[in-house]
């Protein structure tokens, strides 16, 4: 295992360097540059021109700049953004990443829970009504033109029902006199969600040790409900609850859209694996023992079909950064995807390279985690 991990990490490092190089030269070769919009000004004297070029680092030839970039990259410095001038690219990413990740983690979690439950039921009663409807609806949503879904949701929930805000991250009127920045409140919200997740996982572990089903259920439900109630009370007492609620309200629509869009992916994977597992002999044995249908389905079949789903989950988390472009544009959500589009439009080279490189790192780490998870979860797999 360790040997495998070492080899894999080495491979990832090599891949990353090749990737960064390709990205760098690709963006470098893009026609035009950020300085051009200043240099095009005919009133500039040659000295100012030279000065401008020097300040943006364009006076050196491209390969020297590449070496400098690589040197900085090794010290985890992705440079300084042009369009947000003195801000570092890493700062921009650090500011925007939580928003994108929160959006995608929530929707991916919801869609995987949904996909897991629907997929196992669909496969269990193959060609039944549920199988047919979920497959049909799932594939239609899976291949839907994402902007169409976003427009439709905005129209339905924002315009017709008027219960949710149309887009943006916050409501500016509300935040005019806010004591804290939106980012601070958002980070605190994230922490709350994280605490909830940890409590939930611990409760899950404890309940697995317990013997009877009612005991399991009590532990799980009481702990989750207590955490939710306690966190809500803390938020209300802190006085920032209106602001937190504003952010949550703005999050509902993008999360809903993304969930609808992506639940079929996990559902189809779950269904196909289940179909494979159902044929195993131990399922027949379990049925022959006279176990209830639900128990065979949930305990014997679904547990073993879960593996591809879990690894798929991790890998799909890796693609969140790149996949956010459409959703974030449609909902004006200031995340990584929108930053990418903005950087592309303003030719903000350092930010563009930084975002692509960061996405690559994210994907590579996700793949590594998926590999490790695979080995941990499936005792048959030995590296």
Partner 1 sequence: MTEMVVAEPLWKIRLKLWIRSLRTGWELFKEKKLALFGLGVIIFFAIFGLLYPLYPVVMKNLFWKHDSFGYQTFMPYDPIVGFDPDIMSHPSPPSLRHPLGTDPLGRDILAMIMYSTPREFVLGITAALITVIIGTIIGASAAYYGGVIDTFFMRLADIVMLFPSLALLMVLSAFMELTLFRLALIMGILAGFGSITLVLKAQALTVKVRPFIDAAKSTGASDAYIIFKHIIPNILPLSFLYMMFNVTGAIFTEAVLSFLGLANIRMSWGVIIQMAESSGYLMGASIGMYWWLWLPAGVCITLLCSSFYFLGRGLEEIVNPRLRKR
Residues interacting with partner 1, by CB under 8 A? 15, 18-19, 22, 26-27, 29-32, 126-127, 132, 135-136, 139-140, 142-148, 151, 154-155, 158-160, 166, 268, 272, 275-276, 279, 319, 321-323, 325-326, 329, 340-341, 344, 352, 356, 359-360, 363-364
C-beta of 158 vs 188, nearer to partner 1? 158
Whose Cβ is closer to partner 1: residue 169's or residue 235's? 169
Burial class (CB in 10 A: 0-12, 13-18, 19+), 106: middle
Bridge partners, 256 (sequence order): none
Instruction: Tell me how far, at minimum, the Cβ of 32 lies from partner 1, in Å.
Output: 8
Rounded to whole angstroms, the Cα distance separating 120 from 291 reads 17
Residue closer to partner 1 (CB basis): 73 or 243: 73
State which residue, 65 or 367, has the beta carbon closest to partner 1.
367
Q: How far is CA 296 from CA 120, 128, 252, 292, 344, in A?
A: 11, 18, 36, 6, 52
Query: Shortest gap between Cβ of 27 and partner 1 (angstroms)?
Result: 7
Among the residues of the chain, which ranges form H helices?
A: 2-28, 36-39, 46-56, 62-74, 89-124, 129-142, 146-153, 172-175, 182-209, 213-238, 241-278, 281-288, 293-295, 303-318, 320-330, 336-346, 349-377
Q: Which is nearer to partner 1, 219 or 265 (CB)?
A: 265
Q: Which is nearer to partner 1, 314 or 326 (CB)?
A: 326
Q: Measured between alpha carbons, how far is 7 from 292 in angstroms, rounded to an integer?
A: 46
Measured from the CB of residue 99, what is the shortest distance to partner 1 in angstroms? 18
Minimum CB distance to partner 1 smaller for 147 or for 292: 147
Q: How far is the CB of 182 from partner 1 (least distance, A)?
A: 22
In terms of Cα–Cα distance, which of 270, 272, 264 is closest to 298? Answer: 270
CB nearer partner 1, residue 78 or residue 154:
154
| Residue with token string 């360097």 | 17
Nearer to partner 1, 68 or 151 (CB): 151
**CA dist 135 to 130, 266, 304, Å?**
8, 12, 21
Least Å distance between CB 119 and partner 1? 13
Half-sphere exposure (Cβ direction) of 214: Cα atoms closer than 13 Å: 0
Q: How far apart are CA 117 and CA 123, in angstroms?
A: 10
CB atoms within 10 A of CB 215: 13
Rounded CA separation 64/66 (Å): 5
CB of 285 to partner 1, least distance (A): 18
Going 85 to 86 to 90 to 95, the CA torsion angle's sign is negative
Residue 234 CB, nearest approach to partner 1 (Å): 36
Q: Which residues pair with 80 in a beta bridge?
A: 88
End-to-end CA distance of the chain: 5
Judge whether 334 and 92 are in contact, CB under 8 Å.
no
> 40 or 160: whose CB is closer to partner 1?
160
Q: How far is the CB of 23 from partner 1 (least distance, A)?
A: 8
Smallest distance, partner 1 to C-beta of residue 159, A: 6
Closest CB 321 distance from partner 1, rounded Å:
7
């Amino acid at each position: 295992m360790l040997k495998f991990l070492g080899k894999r990490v080495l491979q990832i490092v090599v891949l990353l360097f090749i990737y960064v190089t390709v990205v760098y030269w690709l963006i470098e070769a893009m026609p035009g540059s950020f300085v051009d919009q200043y240099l095009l000004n005919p009133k500039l004297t040659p000295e100012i021109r030279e000065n401008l070029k020097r300040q943006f680092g364009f006076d050196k030839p491209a390969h020297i700049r590449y070496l400098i970039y690589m040197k900085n990259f090794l010290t985890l410095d992705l440079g300084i953004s042009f369009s947000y001038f003195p801000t570092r690219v890493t700062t921009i990413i650090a500011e925007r990443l939580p928003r994108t990740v929160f959006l995608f983690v929530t929707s991916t979690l919801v869609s995987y829970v949904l996909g897991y439950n629907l997929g196992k039921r669909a496969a269990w009663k193959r060609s039944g009504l549920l199988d047919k409807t979920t497959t049909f609806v799932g594939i239609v949503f899976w291949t839907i033109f994402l902007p169409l879904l976003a427009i439709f949701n905005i129209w339905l929930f924002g315009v017709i029902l008027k219960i949710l805000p149309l887009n943006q991250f916050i409501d500016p009127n509300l935040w005019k006199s806010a004591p804290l920045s939106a980012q601070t409140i958002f980070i605190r919200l994230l922490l709350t969600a994280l605490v909830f997740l940890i409590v939930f996982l611990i409760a899950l572990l404890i309940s697995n040790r317990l013997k009877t089903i009612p005991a399991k259920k009590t532990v799980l439900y009481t702990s989750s409900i207590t955490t939710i109630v306690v966190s809500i009370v803390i938020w209300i007492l802190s006085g920032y609850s209106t602001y937190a609620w504003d952010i949550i309200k703005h999050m509902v629509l993008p999360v809903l859209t993304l969930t609808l869009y992506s639940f079929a992916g996990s559902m189809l994977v779950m269904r196909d694996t289940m179909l494979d597992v159902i044929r195993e002999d131990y399922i027949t044995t379990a049925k022959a023992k006279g176990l209830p249908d639900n128990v065979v389905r949930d305990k014997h079949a679904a547990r073993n079909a879960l593996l591809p789903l879990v690894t798929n989950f991790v890998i799909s988390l890796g693609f969140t950064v790149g996949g956010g472009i459409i959703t974030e544009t449609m909902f004006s959500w200031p995340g990584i995807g929108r930053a990418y589009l903005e950087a592309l439009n303003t030719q903000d080279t350092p930010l563009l390279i930084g975002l692509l490189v960061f996405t690559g790192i994210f994907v590579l780490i996700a793949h590594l985690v998926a590999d490790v998870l695979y080995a941990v979860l499936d005792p048959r797999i030995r590296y």
